[in-house]
Amino acid sequence: SEGITSSPKLRTELVWDYTSPEPLWRLMAERSGLNPRKTKALLSIFLFLINKTTMTKKPKKILVVEDDKILSKAIVQALTDAGFKTDMAFDGKEGIAKMRKSLPDLILLDLLMPRKRGEEVLKAAKRYKNTRNIPVLVLTVVDDMASVANCLKIGAAGYFIKSQYTLGEIVRKVKEKLR
């Protein structure tokens, strides 16, 4: 093709594959005048660390169980923008089914919902062996101490009143819990 020659140095740059550092380390050693053996070792370590920390990292899955569709979509959008994989359920029964099927890394749960209340979803999450360790953050309008105490006793990892948190703060709480 026009503008591309068959020179070995140019060819090395065009076909370089980050999983095989050999062509690049030679090029770097030649151009920099560094010791080829050290250049190869440093490049291999660098590529290993990049691969380990960024390229193999799967996004965490968050299940949002909330019957208010507008709020649910806003939360999901904020979480997606923050790099999470998300799913939604609009009632408690659907929430339990999706929780058991997809095994999310965290559940954001409303309490006041149709077809099963949030407390029932929380109890189901803690009942089943494969979902028992999924952190559940309750995000609700219910602000009485009995409800807070009950949810924490069942096993909620946190309890937040919707009106007291922005979308950004909710995302921050999710990130904190998943650390």
pLDDT reading at 134 higher than 90: yes
Question: What tens digit of pLDDT does each residue of 49-65 get?
Answer: 666 555 556 899 999 99
pLDDT level of residue 39 (50, 70, 90 thresholds): confident
pLDDT averaged over every residue in the chain: 83
CB 169 within 8 A of CB 133: no
pLDDT reading at 140 higher than 60: yes
pTM of the model: 0.69
pLDDT reading at 8 higher than 50: no
Question: What tens digit of pLDDT does each residue of 87-123 get?
Answer: 999 999 999 999 999 999 999 999 999 999 999 999 9
| Predicted local confidence at residue 161, as pLDDT | 94
pLDDT reading at 11 higher than 60: no
| Predicted local confidence at residue 14, as pLDDT | 35
Alpha carbons 144 and 142: distance in angstroms, whole number: 6
pLDDT reading at 16 higher than 50: no
Burial track 7-27 (b if 16+ CB lie within 10 A, e otherwise): eeeeeeeeeeeeeebebbbbb
State the virtual CA torsion across 175, 144, 133, 83 in degrees, nearest 10.
-20
Q: Is 144 left (phi over 0), alpha (psi -120 to 50) or beta?
A: beta
- Work out the burial of residue 104: count CB atoms within 10 Å of its CB; fewer than 13 is exposed, 13-18 middle, 19 or more buried: buried
| Predicted local confidence at residue 52, as pLDDT | 58
